[in-house]
Structure 1
Amino acid sequence: MNSTLTEVFSQPVTWRQTGTLAEAANRELAAPGERMLVLGCGTSWFVAQSIAELREGAGLGETDAVCASEYVPRRRYDRVVAITRSGTSTEVLDALRRIPAGTRRIAVTAVRGEPVDDLTDARLLLDFADERSVVQTRFPTSVLAMVRRAYGKSLDGVIADGAAALAASLPADPEAVDHLVFLGTGWTVGLAHEAALKVREAAQAHAESYPAMDFRHGPVAVAGARSLVWSLGDVPPSLDETARAAGAIVHRDDLDPLAQLVLAQRFAVALAEHRGLDPDRPRLLTRSVLLA
């Protein structure tokens, strides 16, 4: 088993381990009534999008998610949360340096002793979810498990569904698919973006992601017999018929959305292996983006 798949299968365990951070996560990430900004790049940006939706949905306060490379200090925030597995991504560090004085800065990371520590006031360290693989799987889902717990969600059912996703059959034969479309709604739009990224990174395959109802507004035009349209969360069932009418394979299930992402990760690895690719060595990618 490659490192990527090993880490995929470890997720129910790492989700449970986030309980050790429950008090700190509640203190730093809930902060009722404060205006919060969540920053990240790539996978971490998509996690930030989900966190923003979850926090506002929990009634904890206004929350924005911004790609770190696009951050401009125009709005006032009470605290800024930077998600960075490695603690070294140049764009995240540069964004933190531009945060106005007096704003509380929190790092969510998997490694201690990295440059992000010197730019933040507090750190949530998920070292038990760190990864050997370039392709992130258990770190981002563990961050979301931690956040959901902090916002009042019991993880018992989530963990059980995660285990079910590891035992489930894949929704399609990778040999029959060369185009994937992931659809989400609310906080699962970020999950849809992340699922599509896993397919692009691991399998070098054509993968798209959209807020669910936007599928009809153009993206359906490229769906066909070798497309798999995959719903994450409470996507309107009517979109299944739209996808089938285009000739696509359709997948939806009743698992918790975080567990649905685990199944999508497994499919990405299976598709990579079908294509003769090593998901541990994704093309043109490194663990952290360091810019001169």
Structure 2
Amino acid sequence: MGAPAMAERTTLMGGEACEAAAAVARMLDANRAAFARIAERLRAHPPETVITCARGSSDHAATYAKYMIETRTGVPVVSAALSLATLFDAPVVPGNRLVMAISQSGRSPDLLATVALHRRAGAYVVALVNAEDAPLRDLADEVIALSAGPERSVAATKSYIASLAAIAALTGAWARDAEIAAGVAKLPALLPAAWALDWSGGVPALIEADNLFVLGRGHGYGIAQEAALKFKETCALHAESFSAAEVRHGPMAIVGRDFHVLAFGGSDRAGASVRETATEFRARGAKLLLVDPDPAAADLAALAAHPVIEPILMVQSFYRLANALALARGLDPDSPPHLRKVTETL
């Protein structure tokens, strides 16, 4: 996208998303000792299960955590149903578990109740939180400060990217994976390059869309979830996210001529699966945009990096597109109707 066509910095969302590189650099500097300490503890006392506690964009980061942790450590990762604590008063059987709580504000009552319940059952709690005064901090054994700074736009951007980077850094340290650690270290330099990529073709392709599928797979699936949410939040565009495998189990029946699809590929086997599905949908006449580091395949360019790092770079590029699309559709991405920054669910 050329800067003259974009006006993204006239919005809080655009300005905050553009700050992601600085946020990630701060987060990494602030948590080096915490990553090492947590990783040492997890290796010395391997958890039987990891339970993620999150909602909204943070829950999409939790999806990324699932693929990161399961592929690198083999420990199963499940998402907590937060209403079990607040609506059903369900007990938790004691056990050796890691609870990973992810939140921008760290103050939603159902999140706090769930974390407290698991901690009483013996869980080791690690909180990834942005707000410095978050009550969640008081419930955690360890806090990873996302260090994204104040985020005034309703749509979370830089805090989401900082969450992904923190998850990658922590998993790399836990698994002693030097390649992931090196990839994370490059993020502050790569994120501005991802922001600068030309995705201007995505605006006219999507400006008249009413419905949309967003596809990803593996480490890129959480990015697809996040993109679908941002389309709804900021662009008033109904979007559903699917794994490139899951979309074949029924949802693909409605993909035909002129149906809009945004697909996030990548340089690993999961990316190849997305490209295969994209090829099939194109053959049906779908209006498909493929994000991919392979320039021969891509409609929207992506930076090549370690496969677990590529999705973080893709979502940085996507935020610029979402901001531009919202403006082109005559909407204010900073103030979506009926939404507010902190959602206090029970």
TM-score (norm 2): 0.77
| Greater Cα radius of gyration, structure 1 or 2 | 2
Give yes or no for the alignment of 1:14 onto 2:52: no
CA, structure 1 residues 277+51, in 2 after alignment: closer, same or farther (shift >3 Å)? same
CA, structure 1 residues 123+8, in 2 after alignment: closer, same or farther (shift >3 Å)? same
Deviations 1:158-215 (A, max 9, x none): 4444222211111634233213322222222112111111111111102111111223
**Cα pair 1:117 1:123 within 8 Å, conserved:** yes
Give yes or no for the alignment of 1:87 onto 2:99: no
Q: Distance in 2 between matches of 1:232 and 1:158?
A: 19
Give yes or no for the alignment of 1:269 onto 2:323: yes
The aligned runs of 1:43-122 (5 Å cut-off) are: 43-59=57-73, 61-69=75-83, 73=92, 76-99=95-118, 100-122=120-142
Give yes or no for the alignment of 1:253 onto 2:307: no
Deviations 1:117-138 (A, max 9, x none): 3333332222334411111111
Q: What is the SS of the residue equivalent to 1:209? A: strand
Q: Which of 230, 234, 258 matches 2:263?
A: 230
Q: Which of 225, 249, 267 matches 1:217?
A: 249
Q: What is the SS of the residue equivalent to 1:81? A: strand
Q: Distance in 1 between matches of 2:39 and 2:64?
A: 13
User: How far off is 1:60 after superposition?
Assistant: 6.0
**Cα pair 2:20 2:148 within 8 Å, conserved:** no
CA, structure 1 residues 186+26, in 2 after alignment: closer, same or farther (shift >3 Å)? farther
Gaps of 5+ in 1: none
1:240 aligned partner: 278
User: How far off is 1:222 after superposition?
Assistant: 3.3
Q: What is the SS of the residue equivalent to 1:108? A: strand
Deviations 1:56-98 (A, max 9, x none): 2112633323343356535734221211110111220121232
Amino acid across the alignment from 1:228: V
1:189 aligned partner: 221
User: How far off is 1:239 after superposition?
Assistant: 1.4
Give yes or no for the alignment of 1:145 onto 2:165: yes
> Identity percentage over the alignment?
27
Amino acid across the alignment from 1:81: M
Q: Distance in 2 between matches of 1:16 and 1:60?
A: 28
1:24 aligned partner: 34
User: How far off is 1:253 after superposition?
Assistant: 1.6
1:133 aligned partner: 153
Amino acid across the alignment from 2:15: T
TM-score (norm 1): 0.90
Measured on the aligned residues, the alpha-carbon RMSD in Å equals 2.3
Gaps of 5+ in 2: 1-9, 173-179, 294-302, 304-309
Deviation larger for 188-197 or 122-131: 122-131
Deviation larger for 52-61 or 41-50: 52-61
Q: Distance in 2 between matches of 1:103 and 1:50?
A: 21
Q: Distance in 1 between matches of 2:239 and 2:133?
A: 35
User: How far off is 1:113 after superposition?
Assistant: 2.5
Q: Distance in 2 between matches of 1:160 and 1:215?
A: 34
CA, structure 1 residues 149+51, in 2 after alignment: closer, same or farther (shift >3 Å)? same
Q: What is the SS of the residue equivalent to 2:80? A: strand
Deviations 1:16-63 (A, max 9, x none): 222221221343367232232111011111111211210121126333
**Cα pair 2:202 2:321 within 8 Å, conserved:** no
Q: Distance in 1 between matches of 2:96 and 2:160?
A: 24
**Cα pair 2:54 2:62 within 8 Å, conserved:** yes
